[in-house]
Structure 1
Amino acid sequence: MMRRRTTLLASCTAAALALGATACGGSPVSAGGDGKALDGQTITVAGVWSGSEQKNFQKVLDAFTEKTGAKTQFVSTGDNVSTVIGSKIEGGKAPEVVMVPQVGVLQQFAKQGWLKPLSKTAGAAVDANYASVWKDYGSVDGTLYGLYFKAAHKSTVWYSPDALDQAGVKPPATYDAMLKAGHTVSESGLAAFSVAGQDGWTLTDWFENVYLSQAGPEKYDALAAHRIKWTDPTVVEALTTLGKLFEDKQLVAGGRKEALSTDFPGSVEKVFGPKPEAGMVYEGDFVAGVAKDQFGRKIGEDANFFPFPAVTGGKAPVVSGGDAAVVLKDGKNQKAAMRFLEYLTTPEASAVWAGAGGFLSPNKKLDLASYGDDVTRETAKSLVAAGDSVRFDMSDQAPAAFGGTKGAGEWKILQDFLRDPSDPKGTAARLESAAAKAYKG
């Protein structure tokens, strides 16, 4: 999910790759290798990405090859990263590097003894280039295993300016105002929201933004660590708030049944595709990449966003996610793998994907000029400026059995809640039952 670099940035990045000396911002960088020191070596990198995300990550891999001589190959795991990587390790075909999309999975891998701690070089770069929260999420029991290369700003609501203009509404500042604006959009001929209910992870993101704003960061942290139960009144309150949106036929494009058969790309298509069915779609900054690359929308002109609004007197939430690079102990080429992670800590590596689009970096040393449009630039600025106050995606912090498995745990229970949002207390009880089993395991 993507954006185009400017001519100036392309020239600057190309020069940086050729000279291996500086990032576009002028800071010294190192790819973790000198010249073609890794000639003849190959690493396999596994991750969830497919489609345009995979293509853009391939540009980062190619830049590493150009710089070091190491060959790379990417393997897409699909959503069930834990199961796929476990099978590869058992079969003696472990990749060298995995881009792990959930904190809970990273912790699981570390506790199973699968991960190699990051090198001192990589650790020093994390200390220098990242807010400490990213180091915390990449560490287990005080040891740094994961480098957060790609981040997501998951507190963004994307909209068609034409749809809102036609309805005569402005981007809202509160959750209640957003629902009111949604009804006005609906009355003008389009549904308010396109909801990607086929992908359970999108529903966890909806819940997390409502919960963080309504319950506050302390409760959010406690629930994420399962220090409070999912039957807590704050959970029931957040589910009740979310259920009012889900059950409103005016607000959800095609109703709940159609939402449950709509995947994430399809939800973006319903707003920004050739035959719009809704005026808004909630999801992270990566919506822009799909709107631009698949449907030709110009970001900032015919596709824009507003921050996820504050709920019932709370503060506007800032929820993030991210993909952490880890090195597996069972991978055959440890040296090249660790050099690759050292490369990923540099602004230079981030600039490659930032220029291609559909990407945010938590690396505060990356020049914002690396991003190809003002909207992405502002989103990236907001994420970095949030520093240690940003809250990581709650489901990504949970054990994979609860927060990161298709057709199970939180994903499945929230899909059931979208299907029938009439019983928030019962849904909370089912969430607690599933969470208790997963955390105990």
Structure 2
Amino acid sequence: MRLTRDKRVIIPLAGLAVLGLALTGCTGDAPASSGGTAAAGCEDYASYGTFTGSPTVSIYSTIVDVEADQLNQSWADFEKCTGITIKYEGSQEFETQINVRAQGGNPPDLAIFPQPGLLASMVAGGYLKAAPQSVSDNVDKNWSADWKKYGTVGGTFYGAPLMASVKGYIWYSPTFFSSNGYTIPKTLDELNTLTAKIAADGKAKPWCAGFASGEASGWPGTDWIEDVVLRQAGPDVYDKWVTNDVKFTDPQITKAFDYVGNFLKNPAYVNAGFGDVTSVNSTTFQDAGLPILQSQCAMMHQASFYEAQWPKGTKVAEDGDVYGFLMPPAAAGGAQAVTGGGELVGAFKTSDQITAVQTYLSSALWANNRVKLGGVISANKGLDPANAQSPLAVQSIKILQDPNTTFRFDASDLMPAAVGSNSFWKGIVNWINGDSTQTVTDFIQSTWPTK
């Protein structure tokens, strides 16, 4: 199954400001309807209006398979109560095809963008419409100003936030850890020590990993680097790295590469169940964690959304088959620092029914409806964490809603596309295949746009 968070090829874009996040949420009103009478039991949807003539709103995104089914469930009551039919289409080629469709004059009504940069490129091409006032009001009321800025280009607001993810989880088997006396590391040095001990014990490889993702192969490795940069160098350096004020060749960045390389380029530490170090590039990120269930590997680094990849019946809990702990800080007692991602909803067309759908998708009502179905979380402040379907999802929502969390949006999603979704991905693949840190960071830096 392809995930909505699967980063893929995106179109080059103008520069995008780098912003820290303090995460919140929303609820709100909708535009006047075009007439009609709401069905019984539709009180929650009354503000969105009722529409006659069965108008249709099309939505296009990267979200496929089970998650696509859950999206359709999340607006089923909205459709019944408003009279609007939502025609959803998910595609693994979204990032390429959205540009083709926009240029060809055949865009969807709405698109769910997995990267702020892709939304900005559509704005730069003159394809997207400014968000309607009802959506802007929702975001102003219930989301942080930083989240709104990710959907703002040139001072105009285009895209409301939708779902979110917490990256930097290290997935493991609680039973395997407890039976072998392993404890959750509290610092990056302790993670090193734990890795070495697991390898020395010889009961499993410490790590399994998978960077294969079609045209986007390599992105799971960029997430590794980003997590370590944020923890080792701190948020200020992280922000400057995204804007090229700190180069890929800077010692603070190469230090992060070398830290990750200690795990992923060491044949004694990877790649359990799949092969040698280079098998990291041929193993899909979806399959990467599965050897944990067979006690072939002890740990796998991946975001909160990986929960949807475990086989049906897998218990995700501290006393379950698998669980996750956040990559620890560089120093004991350090501030909680996480990277993450999310989606933005933008419109290619305008109408009352499109505005009603946009407004619903920016509401706490939608967030709660969707999260109840499982597999995703949101940074929406109006989201009740109790609606999450697992302890890890509840934990992730609380992290996102905690004002003391140091949160940064995925760096590669904010870098120019020539780097963030091109040379950074390719460089990571070459790095796993044997290129040195210096060779790879020199290559990535050389691709940074000069204008």
Contact 1:265/1:290, CA 8 A, preserved across alignment? yes
Deviations 1:235-274 (A, max 9, x none): 11111211111222232223322211111111122223xx
Equivalent in 259, 265, 270 of residue 291 of structure 2: 270
SS at match of 2:106: coil
1:161 matched to which residue of 2? 174
Equivalent in 382, 385, 398 of residue 402 of structure 2: 385
Equivalent in 107, 120, 144 of residue 131 of structure 1: 144
1:257 matched to which residue of 2? 278
Contact 2:188/2:330, CA 8 A, preserved across alignment? yes
Equivalents in 2 of 1:113, 1:38: separation in Å?
A: 31
Q: Which runs of 5+ in 1 are unaligned?
A: 3-16, 23-29
The one-letter code sitting in structure 2 at the alignment partner of 1:139 is T
Cα 1:288–1:234 change in 2 (3 A) is: same
Deviations 1:64-107 (A, max 9, x none): 312322112222232x5442111112333211111111111121
Equivalent in 311, 327, 330 of residue 330 of structure 2: 311
The one-letter code sitting in structure 2 at the alignment partner of 1:48 is T
Contact 2:173/2:298, CA 8 A, preserved across alignment? yes
| 1:350 CA displacement | 0.9
2:117 matched to which residue of 1? 104
For the aligned residues, what is the CA RMSD?
2.3
**Alignment pair present for 1:346 and 2:366:** no
**Alignment pair present for 1:148 and 2:161:** yes
Deviations 1:124-157 (A, max 9, x none): 1111111222111111122111111110001211
1:27 matched to which residue of 2? none
Instruction: Flag as ranges the 4+ runs of structure 1 deviating above 6 A.
Output: none
TM-score normalized with structure 1 length:
0.86
| 1:38 CA displacement | 5.7
| 1:39 CA displacement | 4.5
The one-letter code sitting in structure 2 at the alignment partner of 1:98 is A
Equivalents in 2 of 1:391, 1:18: separation in Å?
A: 43
| 1:118 CA displacement | 1.0
1:194 matched to which residue of 2? 208
Bigger Cα displacement from structure 2, 305-314 vs 166-175: 305-314
Contact 2:163/2:376, CA 8 A, preserved across alignment? yes
1:396 matched to which residue of 2? 413
Cα 1:356–1:108 change in 2 (3 A) is: same
The one-letter code sitting in structure 2 at the alignment partner of 1:60 is S
Equivalent in 220, 228, 232 of residue 210 of structure 1: 228
Equivalents in 2 of 1:433, 1:308: separation in Å?
A: 30
The one-letter code sitting in structure 2 at the alignment partner of 1:381 is K
| 1:119 CA displacement | 1.1
Cα 1:205–1:126 change in 2 (3 A) is: same
Cα 1:151–1:212 change in 2 (3 A) is: same
Question: What does 1:225-236 align with in structure 2 at a 5 Å threshold?
Answer: 225-236=243-254
**Alignment pair present for 1:366 and 2:383:** yes
Bigger Cα displacement from structure 2, 49-58 vs 317-326: 49-58
**Alignment pair present for 1:242 and 2:260:** yes
Equivalent residues, number: 404
Percent of aligned positions with the same letter in both sequences? Answer: 26
Equivalents in 2 of 1:307, 1:386: separation in Å?
A: 17
Cα 1:92–1:216 change in 2 (3 A) is: same
Equivalent in 289, 305, 312 of residue 286 of structure 1: 305
Equivalents in 1 of 2:52, 2:296: separation in Å?
A: 51
Equivalents in 2 of 1:290, 1:74: separation in Å?
A: 22
Q: Which runs of 5+ in 2 are unaligned?
A: 4-38
Contact 2:207/2:263, CA 8 A, preserved across alignment? no
Equivalent in 41, 44, 48 of residue 19 of structure 1: 41
Equivalents in 2 of 1:298, 1:208: separation in Å?
A: 29
